[in-house]
């Protein structure tokens, strides 16, 4: 059941992205930035965590969850340490994604022979 | 524009009004079916999320983590797979077919970083790889961080204390 919801919600978010490509005619960078901002705003209203509880990876794998994780880290730290927490906590939860993307991409650039 | 009157003799006048021409051109355009693109994005994006769910369930069972704790390793694993597929040139082929289905999941974020790193490798490790890795992914991080900052400020002003 969890897999079905992950499929439907994850696929649905990708369809929203595709509609932004095709109908609104946004570039991929504009689409991704918009989705991240939407995820951030949704978590500001405490709406993204319920979606993750409901759809699991269907909500945590699309890029919207990156905005959600930034806000979630900032707000958790804001709650724990006060206003400075917005700055210090922001990247706490997204570290896994950003660090691994940097490290694996760098290693790939070292190992893989560039084409052309 | 100024030569329009002078050209009149040389060229045949258009028999269609510009409005008619636009409609005609549109009818002859190759069909970029939005519906088909959305269906592909839905299926591929959904499948990537199902793979993510399977990996997350695996970590939860194997390392006895809660779903929140497992999401970090899950994302890292998905990114690793995406980087390998990008290095083999497979991910970009998938992306051509699936559009947003491969771009919206976090694997697309890793793909944009890895392909930028590989593409600029020939310019050197520092200026090429280091300087260009965030060429495309940078906008996502910048807008995400700025949005998160303003949401945080809003919570401070509203006095919710981050709850």
Sequence-ordered list of residues with C-beta below 8 angstroms from that of B19, at least 6 positions apart, any chain = none
pLDDT in tens, A82-109: 889 999 999 999 999 999 999 999 999 9
B48, B106 contact by CB (below 8 A) = no
Q: B-chain residues within 8 Å CB-CB of A81?
A: none
**Measured between CA atoms, how close is A7 to chain B, in angstroms?**
4
Q: Report the C-alpha gap between B98 and B39 in whole angstroms.
A: 9
To the question of pTM greater than 0.80 for the whole model, the response is: yes
pLDDT at position B12, please?
A: 67
pLDDT in tens, A4-48: 999 999 999 999 999 999 999 899 999 999 999 999 999 999 999
Q: Report the C-alpha gap between B26 and B143 in whole angstroms.
A: 36
Distances (CA, A) of B47 to A82, B41, B53, B54: 40, 10, 10, 10
**Measured between CA atoms, how close is B46 to chain A, in angstroms?**
4
Nearest to B104 among A23, A35, A74 (CB): A35
Consecutive sets of 10 residues in chain B, 163 residues long: mean pLDDT of each? 54 74 76 86 96 95 90 94 94 92 94 93 91 92 95 89 61
């Amino acid at each position: 059941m969890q897999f079905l919801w992950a499929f439907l919600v994850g696929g649905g978010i990708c369809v929203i992205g595709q509609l932004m490509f095709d109908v609104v005619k946004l570039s991929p960078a504009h689409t991704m930035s918009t989705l991240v901002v939407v995820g951030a705003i949704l978590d500001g209203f405490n709406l993204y965590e319920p979606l993750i509880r409901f759809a699991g990876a269907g909500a945590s794998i699309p890029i919207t969850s990156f905005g959600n994780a930034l806000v979630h880290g900032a707000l958790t730290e804001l709650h724990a340490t006060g206003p400075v927490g917005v700055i210090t906590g922001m990247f706490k939860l997204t570290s896994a994604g950003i660090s691994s993307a940097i490290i694996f991409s760098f290693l790939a650039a070292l190992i893989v022979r560039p084409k052309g | 524009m100024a030569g329009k009157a002078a050209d009149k003799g040389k060229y045949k006048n258009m028999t269609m009004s510009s409005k008619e021409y636009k409609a005609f051109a549109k009818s002859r355009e190759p069909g970029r079916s939005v519906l088909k693109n959305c269906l592909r994005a839905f299926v591929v994006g959904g499948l990537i999320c199902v793979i993510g769910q399977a990996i997350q369930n695996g970590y939860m069972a194997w390392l006895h983590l809660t779903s929140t704790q497992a999401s970090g390793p899950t994302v890292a694993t998905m990114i690793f797979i995406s980087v390998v597929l990008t290095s083999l040139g497979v991910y970009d082929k998938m992306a051509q077919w699936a559009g947003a289905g491969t771009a919206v999941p976090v694997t697309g974020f890793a793909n944009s970083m890895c392909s930028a790193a590989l593409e600029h490798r020939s310019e050197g490790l520092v200026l090429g790889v280091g300087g260009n890795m965030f060429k495309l992914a940078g906008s996502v991080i910048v807008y995400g961080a700025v949005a998160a900052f303003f949401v945080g400020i809003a919570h401070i002003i509203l006095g919710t204390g981050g709850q």
